[in-house]
């Protein structure tokens, strides 16, 4: 038999490392269930061998973990933030209830059953009704000051009416599935590592040092508890807390249940399991709490958790299925991402036919091969994952998946990025890469070129009509008529759409260029800090990094992109085609109407008032409703009345629509 002392020491070290990865790095290596199993194993050994005490550092079974980071200031909670004992077994849940019944033999026990939100615990301090600080759980006693990243979370009140003088409100910061998918999709397109689930992404976001970057990701919050409260005696039950939080207009739990015994509590948990898919927040279990505070106090606490509450966690849904093939997908920067194509299988209420494989290293680590029977999991994460291979079912003739060889077999010429686990197509002549780059350029979030979908792009590249983004602007109607399904009308529409795209905002162009690591928000940050594309192109790495929201990796990437001679010539050609290179701010400052005031009067023949106002503002001018000596122009249409007369009297320039259009170009 293994030496229990050694096993205890090994498990303690192992769990401590998993705690660090989960709480401090927000990048756990194992899922919750595997982690909870390790912890249960350790707790059992410790209980059977009480002589191996905790020494200097407490065992991870006796503490709540620690999320504190060097870069943050720490604050002490007025009341400690504890953890919860958890179980995956309904029998253990019932035992929890039976223990409490023994303690309170003559009393009726009412439980509150709440969803357990899979997010990041936070404690909000309100003083005289105003939010003064948000603190992470930390080690339960003191946590990190994350106020600047928490303020402004949607729905979180800055002020509350009729609150006690001092109030700690507790809850969970989380990320909605949709936002999680949006960010991961953007990261996949950049060839960056994906976040495994919304909880990790929320945890990573809340600890970003740059509040602007944090703001570019949408976090949400839900509150369910109270820490300190002065004056006290505000609440006598858990359900009163729920009501009061709602009254104070905090975002609260979508549903909770009162149960008169532990068996009914279990029924509520079963109901929760059927409802939770429709909740806004990721729900990984239920928390069952004694409702009455007097009973809570009497039940008391262990060093890390209350004895009056327990978390029941739902098993992640897993299923075995056949991995038919590993398909390699190419993103806009040429990054190659492996995807498992699966024999469709039912998981967590959806049919799963694809799963992420992250990158070459992940495939190697798990030795995943086409033809394998794999265990697929869909838990808090929306993207299904391949957990492991069932080796007993591996075909005899199975071969390891060699990433590089598969690329070769597909005729894809890619190289592995020395700084990341990602393979990238390096050649700019590669038609697939060209196609992805053009699709991205034309997409909504970039140049928004209508009628230029992937089918059209594919034809343009295959026929050699277009290689780079600049080539799009040389297309003629006659050329387009050669394409499948193109008639005169569709050709004209595409030419018009291309023409219109020349006036897009600068950030749309920056985003569309497909510079590695530069997404929509970074493109906006760049536009906000530079006057033109040329200014960005000639900026030093230091200047780029000085921009709020641009980190060193991005700065390096932008600088390298503009230093490339092919990219330089692309930029010159785009300029020659007349694309807008100026930031909105600079365009206004340079505009013909910069500093000028224009008064609109009468009905214009073609422009609406809104359109005219937008054009005036784009040219740097402002509009005013009355004519005075300070008016520079009057834009007059049909039936212009007294304003027209007044302008004539004051000798102010009067323009009709044509003259106005000529003026603003």
Secondary structure E strands in 238-384: 257-259, 283-290, 309-313, 317-330, 335-347, 350-356, 373-378
Q: 82 vs 382, which CB is nearer to ligand IVH?
A: 82
Indicate whether 114 belongs to the interface with ligand IVH (CB under 6 A).
yes
The tokens for 245 are 């939080």
Nearest-angstrom CA–CA distance, 356 and 185 = 12
Q: 40 vs 319, which CB is nearer to ligand IVH?
A: 40
Q: Residue 289, annotated ligand binder?
A: yes
Residues 162-191 that bind ligand IVH (CB under 6 A): 172
What end-to-end distance do the CA atoms of the chain give, in Å?
Answer: 86
Q: Which residue has the tokens 């992937």?
A: 454
**Residues with Cβ < 8 Å from 619, sequence gap 6 or more?**
588, 591, 592, 593, 594, 663, 664, 665
Q: 82 vs 570, which CB is nearer to ligand IVH?
A: 82
Q: Which residue has the tokens 């991870």?
A: 60
User: How many other CB atoms sit within 10 Å of the CB of residue 540?
Assistant: 10
Residues 283-312 that bind ligand IVH (CB under 6 A): 287, 306, 309, 311
Closest CA to 336 of 414, 437, 418: 414
Nearest-angstrom CA–CA distance, 263 and 111 = 10
Q: Residue 36, annotated ligand binder?
A: yes
Indicate whether 414 belongs to the interface with ligand IVH (CB under 6 A).
no
Q: Residue 313, annotated ligand binder?
A: yes
Q: From residue 108, how far is each of 238, 248, 262, 583 by CA, in Å?
A: 15, 30, 11, 68
Are 240 and 257 within 8 A, CB to CB?
no
Q: 26 vs 323, which CB is nearer to ligand IVH?
A: 26
Q: 306 vs 371, which CB is nearer to ligand IVH?
A: 306
Indicate whether 117 belongs to the interface with ligand IVH (CB under 6 A).
yes
Q: Which stretch binds ligand IVH (CB under 6 A): 2-10, 115-123, 442-450, 599-607?
A: 115-123
Are 593 and 567 within 8 A, CB to CB?
no
Q: Residue 632, annotated ligand binder?
A: no
Q: Residue 256, annotated ligand binder?
A: no
Q: 285 vs 514, which CB is nearer to ligand IVH?
A: 285
Which of 7, 33, 83, 573 touches ligand IVH (CB under 6 A)?
83
Site residue total, ligand IVH (CB under 6 A): 14
In whole angstroms, the minimum distance from the beta carbon of 215 to ligand IVH comes to 23
Closest CA to 273 of 236, 241, 310, 317: 317
Respond yes or no on whether the N-terminal peptide bond of residue 231 is cis (omega within 30° of 0): yes
Residue least distant from ligand IVH (Cβ)? 121
Q: Residue 610, annotated ligand binder?
A: no
In whole angstroms, the minimum distance from the beta carbon of 277 to ligand IVH comes to 17
Instruction: Tell me the catalytic residues.
Output: 116
Q: Residue 478, annotated ligand binder?
A: no
Q: Which stretch binds ligand IVH (CB under 6 A): 110-118, 150-158, 447-455, 631-639?
A: 110-118
Residues 200-229 that bind ligand IVH (CB under 6 A): 224-225
Nearest-angstrom CA–CA distance, 115 and 225 = 13
Indicate whether 268 belongs to the interface with ligand IVH (CB under 6 A).
no
Q: Is the dihedral of CA 565, 571, 574, 576 positive or negative?
A: negative
Q: 311 vs 316, which CB is nearer to ligand IVH?
A: 311
Q: Residue 335, annotated ligand binder?
A: no
Strand 633-636 relative to strand 597-601, pairing: parallel
Indicate whether 80 belongs to the interface with ligand IVH (CB under 6 A).
no
Residues that bind ligand IVH (CB under 6 A): 82-84, 114, 116-117, 121, 172, 224-225, 287, 306, 309, 311
- Numbered residues of the known binding site: 32-36, 83-84, 114, 137, 172, 289, 313
- Numbered residues of the known binding site for NAD(+): 32-36, 83-84, 114, 137, 172, 289, 313
């Amino acid at each position: 038999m293994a030496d229990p002392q050694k096993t205890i020491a090994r498990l303690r070290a192992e769990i401590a490392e998993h705690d660090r990865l989960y709480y401090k790095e927000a990048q756990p290596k194992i899922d919750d269930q595997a982690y909870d199993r390790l912890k249960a194993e350790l707790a059992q050994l410790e209980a059977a061998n009480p002589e191996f005490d905790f020494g200097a550092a407490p065992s991870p079974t006796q503490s709540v973990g620690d999320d504190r980071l060097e870069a943050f200031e720490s604050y002490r909670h007025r009341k400690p933030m504890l953890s919860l004992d958890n179980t995956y077994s309904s029998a253990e849940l019932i035992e929890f209830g039976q223990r409490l019944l023994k303690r309170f033999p003559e009393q009726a026990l009412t439980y509150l059953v709440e969803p357990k939100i899979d997010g990041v615990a936070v404690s909000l301090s309100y003083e005289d009704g105003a939010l003064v600080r948000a603190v992470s759980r930390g080690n339960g006693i003191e946590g990190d000051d994350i106020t600047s990243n928490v303020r402004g979370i949607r729905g979180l009140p800055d002020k509350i009416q009729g609150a006690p003088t001092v109030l700690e409100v507790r809850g969970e910061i989380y990320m909605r599935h949709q936002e999680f998918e949006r960010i991961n999709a953007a990261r996949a397109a950049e060839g960056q590592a994906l976040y495994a689930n919304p909880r990790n992404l929320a945890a990573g976001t809340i600890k970003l040092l740059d509040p602007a970057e944090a703001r570019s990701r949408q976090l949400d919050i839900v509150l369910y508890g109270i820490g300190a409260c002065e004056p006290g005696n505000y609440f006598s039950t858990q359900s009163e807390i729920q009501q009061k939080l709602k009254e104070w207009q905090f975002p609260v739990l979508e549903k909770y249940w009162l149960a008169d015994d532990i068996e009914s509590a279990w029924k509520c948990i079963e109901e929760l399991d059927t409802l939770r898919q429709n909740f806004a927040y990721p729900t990984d279990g239920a928390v069952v709490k004694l409702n009455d505070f007097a009973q809570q106090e009497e039940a008391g606490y262990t060093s890390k958790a209350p004895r009056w509450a327990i978390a029941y966690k739902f098993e992640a849904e897993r299923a075995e299925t056949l991995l038919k093939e590993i398909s390699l997908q190419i993103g806009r920067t040429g990054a190659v991402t492996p995807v498992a194509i699966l024999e469709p299988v039912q998981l967590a209420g959806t049919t799963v036919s694809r799963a992420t494989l992250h990158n070459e290293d992940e495939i190697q680590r798990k030795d995943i091969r086409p033809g394998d029977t794999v265990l697929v999991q869909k838990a808090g994460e929306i993207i299904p994952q391949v957990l492991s291979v069932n080796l007993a079912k591996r075909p005899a003739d199975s071969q390891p998946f060699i990433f590089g060889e598969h690329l070769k077999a597909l005729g894809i010429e890619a190289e592995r990025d020395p700084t990341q686990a990602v393979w990238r197509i390096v050649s700019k002549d590669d038609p697939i890469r060209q196609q992805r780059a053009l699709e991205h350029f034309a997409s909504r979030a970039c140049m928004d070129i209508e009628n230029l979908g992937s089918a059209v792009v594919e034809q343009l590249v295959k026929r050699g009509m277009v290689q780079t983004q600049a080539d799009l602007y040389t297309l003629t109607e006659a050329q387009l008529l050669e394409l499948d399904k193109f008639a005169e009308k569709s050709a004209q529409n595409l030419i018009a759409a291309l023409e219109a795209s020349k006036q897009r905002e600068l950030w749309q162009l920056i985003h569309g260029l497909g510079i590695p690591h530069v997404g929509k928000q970074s493109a906006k940050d760049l536009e906000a800090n530079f006057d033109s594309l040329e200014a960005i192109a000639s900026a030093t790495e230091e200047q780029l990094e000085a921009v709020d929201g641009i980190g060193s990796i991005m700065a390096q990437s932008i600088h390298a992109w503009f230093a490339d001679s092919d990219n330089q010539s692309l930029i010159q050609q785009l300029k020659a085609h007349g694309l807008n290179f100026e930031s909105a701010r600079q365009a206004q400052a340079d505009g013909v109407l910069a500093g000028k005031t224009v008064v609109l009067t009468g009905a214009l023949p073609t422009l609406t008032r809104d359109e005219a106002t937008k054009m005036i503002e784009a040219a740097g001018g402002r509009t005013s409703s009355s004519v005075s000596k300070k008016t520079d122009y009057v834009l007059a249409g049909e039936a212009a009345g007294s304003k027209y007369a007044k302008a004539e009297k004051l000798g102010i320039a009067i323009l009709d629509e044509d003259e106005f259009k000529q003026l603003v170009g």
